[in-house]
A = this chain, B = another copy of it.
Amino acid sequence: MVGPPLRADAARNVAQIRAAAIAAFRGRGLSTPLEEIAAAAGVSKATIYNRFGGRDGLIDAVIGELVAAEMHTIMGRARAVDDPWQAIATYVGDRRDLQYREPAFTDALLMTYPNSAQLVALANAATDTTVHLLRRGHDAGVLRPGFTAADLYYADIANGLALRALGPQPREDYDRRTRFFLDSLGRQ
């Protein structure tokens, strides 16, 4: 994985490309044209291919900083909450918040780039956590019967795509809709 150390100029370029990719992915999602990232980094597109092997490699290289770290925090936070309902409310609320701040998170959810190993690992971890939390909720009888992990996945995809399609929503509106959604999950 490490190989021989990079030459100084190459190391500098790698750093610049990473920084540009993170900024671009933040703004436009994981499908930002590589030429645009290259220009922002002050290198040519071919250098991205040389250093990262293409989009998948680039995603692998920055997804941690972009969303994986936050996602692990979110999962840990939810799992640490004792009350089963509160754990779910925390988890859903935090995920929605991350979606709001990071369009790239929706790309990660959608698995648009299934060749990125990091992305696959992240998706698996998230699925495990969701299933775990929902099982706890159902066992405790605090969750609406019939609500599945697939339902939550669908709802999050839906929210992320709408957010991207319609542009930034006022935070107040966004949070109200999250509240509506959460209320629909509780035992009626």
Q: Name A residues whose Cβ lies closer than 8 Å to a Cβ of B.
A: 110, 144, 146-148, 150-151, 154-155, 157-159, 161-162, 165-166, 169, 173, 176-177, 180-181, 183-185, 188
Q: How far is the CA of A61 from the CA of B35 in the complex (A)?
A: 39
Q: How far is the CA of A155 from the CA of B154 in the complex (A)?
A: 12
The 9 closest A-B pairs by CB, nearest first: A184-B184, A158-B162, A161-B161, A158-B158, A180-B184, A157-B162, A183-B184, A154-B162, A158-B159
Asked whether A176 lies within 8 Å of B151 as measured between CB atoms, the reply is yes
Asked whether A165 lies within 8 Å of B173 as measured between CB atoms, the reply is no
Q: How far is the CA of A154 from the CA of B165 in the complex (A)?
A: 10
Q: How far is the CA of A149 from the CA of B41 in the complex (A)?
A: 43
Q: How far is the CA of A181 from the CA of B110 in the complex (A)?
A: 22
CB-nearest residue of chain B to A110: B165
Min CB distance A86 to B, Å, is 18
| CB within 8 Å for A177 and B162 given contacts A183-B184, A184-B183, A188-B183 | no
Min CB distance A150 to B, Å, is 7
Which chain B positions have C-beta within 8 A of A161?
A: 158, 161-162, 165
